Structure 1
Amino acid sequence: MQEVVRAEVLKLLQAGIIYPISDSPWVSPTQVVPKKSGIIVVQNDKGEEVFTSLTSGWRVCIDYRKLNVVTRKDHFPLPFIDQVLERVSGHPFYCFLDGYSGYFQIEIAVEDQEKTTFTCPFGTYAYRRMPFGLCNAPIKFQRCMLSIFSDMVERIMEVFMDDITIYGSVFDECLVNLEVVLNRCIEKDLRLIRWILLFQEFNLQIKKEETGKCDESLMLIEVAPWYAHIANYLVTGEVPNEWKAQDKKHFFAKIHAYYWEEPFLFKYCADQIIRKCVPE
């Protein structure tokens, strides 16, 4: 477990997210917990099939409970996820953006950094950027995101924490909305780890009528990976409308072998090994 903590501390030090500190009156302990990834069916002692989570690694957590008790709570209302989903539903085209490093994009006021001090076998450190575990962290992050995209929310996009959903009634409109959001991210120095387009009624062979050449904005998308429909189904619960009954039967016969752990798709293979799906 100490190697897990050592690796995490070195990573955060190299990124400039934490720094050594020795005179802080605020010190919180660290813990290492299993990182759950996906669901598998196993048999219990009674021979019954039950669902259980897979452990794909270990996560270093800081126990900020004592700090949170004395923290003045921010009562900014967080959106309900079902309301967000209801607002974005009904559009044929979507693009999903995922923020990079989450809370770490928000700097902590210098005078408050010592309050985030944590101890581990390799010393005591404080955060320069907002860590997980603080009671007000989700609210502060959501407030910042809504402030950045205040003129776009409920018009062309929705945002929940670092997950951004952009939509459009036609593909070109979705691309225009995507460009507007990406420009705002550049303007506000908001970093993204990736973006995903969900194709439902879009054909990659579409060409501009007036030129006979592929649209420049589409040339970056050469071909969808072989597992695109699987990933889209696991994320949205939908399959292409043009599929016939036989196509759906074949698809659902194999879908149980896959699971989505953002941002990757994994497959349970015959040799009992879980492998990440990659484009051919």
Structure 2
Amino acid sequence: MRKKVEKELERLQDLDIIRKAEDPTPWISPIVIVPKGNYEIRICIDNRCANQAIQRERHVTPTLDDLINDLNGAMVFSKIDLKNGYHQLELDEESKYITTFSTHIGIFQYNRLHFGINSASEIFQHQVTNLIQGIQAKNYSDDIIVYGKSETGNLQEARKNHDENLSNLLQRLKENNVTANAAKCSFHKTNLKFNGYIFSQDGISADPEKLQALKDVKPPQNAKEVRSFLGMANYIARFIPDFATISEPLRLLTHKNSTRKWGEAEKRSLNKIKISLTNKVSYFNPKLQTELVVDASPVGLGCLLTQKDSDNKVRVIAYASRALTPVEQRYSQIEREALAIIWATEHFHLYLFGTDFCIITDHKPLETIFTRTKSSPIKLELKDGF
């Protein structure tokens, strides 16, 4: 193992990623060796102590909804993978001492950003965002998506727009000595696979490989396997109608000190999640008629954002759901239905704010919240949410 560590340290020095530490330093961290494939290793730094002295840089990473909103109308895509992403950012000389780490052959420091820094992802996201400013592209960590659009829906126009954006991006990367990993880049695609989703001009769909992996899951044998399955399903929950309610029997199995056993209810829940998977959802168009369909069950809230196109055909934009807390489960049905409306409008705030939309609920008694002069405190609080 020591020979492998020495070889990796030599490689990192040759790439100017680390250097020998010559001066005394108030910070020193241990290394953690992580085995990789082909009998190789990765050297990681346990920066827990040093991280306490690092001031976090708060920079928000784009959400999936942010990305979907930006790619709305895109017809041609390219994805640029930045090689050894973090290591392309050089640290200020005055900051390098904080990254000092010890090995059996001496003490070293990082010249460049590395994964052990608690704010590394925020710093990197911020720097790349600034780098591509003014170019029609979006970055998500070390991936940059370039896309082309056409106001008339013409593919050739979109290709031309895409090529101009791609040329500008590559020139910007060259000017700033940023290197891409050609093996992981993809160019001129009409369908882009990214982070478990497929983007195209028609809408967004879950990666078929992820869908198949979910469908192939065998009945979990313990709480850990149940959590793993729910984690997979939750990642693509925007394609699963009423996910929180139908997954309730499975979630109960993961509760601490739960005495529940796998039974028919859990089996039905598992199978229903698998068969409820939808293939594709559409992009949001603020010019189309928008409807927010909401519902509440004794255990969860659910909503569906839809739009009608010029042919009066309903287009699904997204599904969303969440479980009710133990306190919320004790609400009356009218209170749960009102809560569903408030939660749904907040959840889809990115799409609904500033637009006219219709809320659809199957609970007519909700009208009394707005007409009665006397209401319970919880109802008054819910009313204020509208």
Shared topology, TM-score over 0.5? yes
Per the alignment, do residues 31 and 159 of structure 1 end up closer, same or farther by CA in structure 2, a change over 3 Å counting?
A: same
Other-structure match for 1:165:
145
Other-structure match for 2:190:
200
* Residue number among 98, 101, 104 corresponding to 1:115 in the alignment: 98
Q: How far apart, in 1, do the equivalents of 2:39 and 2:66 lie? A: 32
The structure whose Rg is larger is 2
Q: Which has the higher contact order (CA 8 A, sep 6+)?
A: 1
Contact 1:198 1:232 in 2 (8 A): no
Instruction: Give the drift of 1:200.
Output: 3.4
Instruction: Give the drift of 1:67.
Output: 0.6
Per the alignment, do residues 78 and 237 of structure 1 end up closer, same or farther by CA in structure 2, a change over 3 Å counting?
A: closer
Q: How far apart, in 2, do the equivalents of 1:130 and 1:232 lie? A: 28
Contact 2:33 2:42 in 1 (8 A): yes
Other-structure match for 2:44:
61
CA RMSD of aligned residues (A): 3.1
Contact 1:77 1:139 in 2 (8 A): yes
Other-structure match for 1:28:
29
State, as a whole percentage, how many aligned pairs show the same letter.
Answer: 25
- Whether 2:19 is the aligned partner of 1:10: answer no
* Residue number among 99, 113, 126 corresponding to 2:109 in the alignment: 126
Contact 2:18 2:109 in 1 (8 A): yes
Runs of 4+ in 1 over 3 A off after TM superposition: 55-58, 198-201, 231-239
Q: Which runs of 5+ in 2 are unaligned?
A: 150-157, 203-207, 217-386
Q: Which runs of 5+ in 1 are unaligned?
A: 38-54, 202-230, 242-247, 257-280
Contact 2:5 2:41 in 1 (8 A): no
Q: Secondary structure at the match of 2:34?
A: strand
Instruction: Give the drift of 1:57.
Output: 5.1
Where is the strand percentage greater, Structure 1 or Structure 2?
1
Other-structure match for 1:182:
170
Where is the helix percentage greater, Structure 1 or Structure 2?
2
Q: Secondary structure at the match of 2:133?
A: coil
Contact 2:78 2:189 in 1 (8 A): no
Comparing 85-94 and 165-174, the one that deviates more: 85-94
Contact 2:34 2:42 in 1 (8 A): yes
Per the alignment, do residues 186 and 124 of structure 1 end up closer, same or farther by CA in structure 2, a change over 3 Å counting?
A: same
Q: How far apart, in 2, do the equivalents of 1:196 and 1:129 lie? A: 27
Q: Secondary structure at the match of 1:192?
A: coil
Give the residue type in structure 1 aligned to 2:3.
E
Following superposition of structure 1 onto structure 2, how do residues 139-158 of structure 1 map, counting pairs within 5 Å? Answer: 139-152=122-135, 156-158=136-138
Residue deviations 1:73-92, cap 9 Å, x none? 22232322442244225422
Following superposition of structure 1 onto structure 2, how do residues 37-48 of structure 1 map, counting pairs within 5 Å? Answer: none
Give the residue type in structure 2 aligned to 1:118.
F
Instruction: Give the drift of 1:7.
Output: 2.3
TM-score (normalised: structure 2): 0.45
Per the alignment, do residues 125 and 198 of structure 1 end up closer, same or farther by CA in structure 2, a change over 3 Å counting?
A: same
Following superposition of structure 1 onto structure 2, how do residues 84-95 of structure 1 map, counting pairs within 5 Å? Answer: 84-95=67-78
Per the alignment, do residues 26 and 83 of structure 1 end up closer, same or farther by CA in structure 2, a change over 3 Å counting?
A: same
Q: How far apart, in 2, do the equivalents of 1:234 and 1:129 lie? A: 26
Per the alignment, do residues 4 and 168 of structure 1 end up closer, same or farther by CA in structure 2, a change over 3 Å counting?
A: same
Q: How far apart, in 2, do the equivalents of 1:200 and 1:232 lie? A: 10
Q: How far apart, in 2, do the equivalents of 1:141 and 1:233 lie? A: 19
Give the residue type in structure 2 aligned to 1:188.
N
Give the residue type in structure 2 aligned to 1:146.
T
Q: How far apart, in 1, do the equivalents of 2:105 and 2:147 lie? A: 47
Instruction: Give the drift of 1:3.
Output: 3.3
Q: Secondary structure at the match of 1:93?
A: strand
TM-score (normalised: structure 1): 0.60
Residue deviations 1:156-209, cap 9 Å, x none? 2111122100011322221121001111112222221223115339xxxxxxxx
Q: Secondary structure at the match of 1:159?
A: strand
Q: How many residues align?
A: 194
